[in-house]
């Protein structure tokens, strides 16, 4: 099977390409920012937000799952699930409170 040569319509013109991609072929593919400080700030913010979401979601979901498990093993499934849901929400608010004060002190 012979490889066909791309037509003029399929190959991008040099004026249409990103000038950074000419210097670094991977630049366009991985989305390198013009300013390295801007890129570092973006990734720090992304990591912070991911950590915050992780600290809020895991206690709530964990409380519901543990409450459901204990409810099926010990009886009164709704009471265990709702009770541990509230515990998970309380732990999430405590994590949020602690996170906000850590961020404000920096």
Convert the pLDDT of each residue in 73-88 to its tens digit.
988 878 999 999 999 9
The SS3 of residue 51 is helix
**Based on the number of CB atoms within 10 Å of its own CB, is 68 exposed (0-12), middle (13-18) or buried (19 or more)?**
middle
pLDDT, position 58: 94
* pTM of the predicted structure, to 2 decimals: 0.57
Return the domain boundaries, the chain.
Answer: 18-105
Provide the mean pLDDT of the chain: 77
CB atoms within 10 A of CB 33: 13
Is residue 15 scored above 90 in pLDDT?
no
């Amino acid at each position: 099977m012979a490889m066909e040569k791309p037509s003029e319509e399929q190959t991008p013109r040099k004026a249409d390409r990103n000038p950074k991609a000419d210097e670094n072929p991977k630049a366009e593919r991985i989305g390198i920012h013009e300013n390295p400080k801007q890129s570092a700030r973006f990734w720090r913010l992304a990591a912070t937000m991911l950590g915050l979401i992780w600290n809020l979601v895991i206690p709530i979901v964990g409380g519901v799952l543990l409450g459901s498990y204990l409810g099926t093993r010990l009886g009164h499934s709704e009471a265990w699930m709702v009770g541990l849901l509230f515990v998970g929400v309380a732990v999430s608010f405590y994590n949020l409170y602690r996170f906000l004060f850590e961020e404000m002190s920096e």
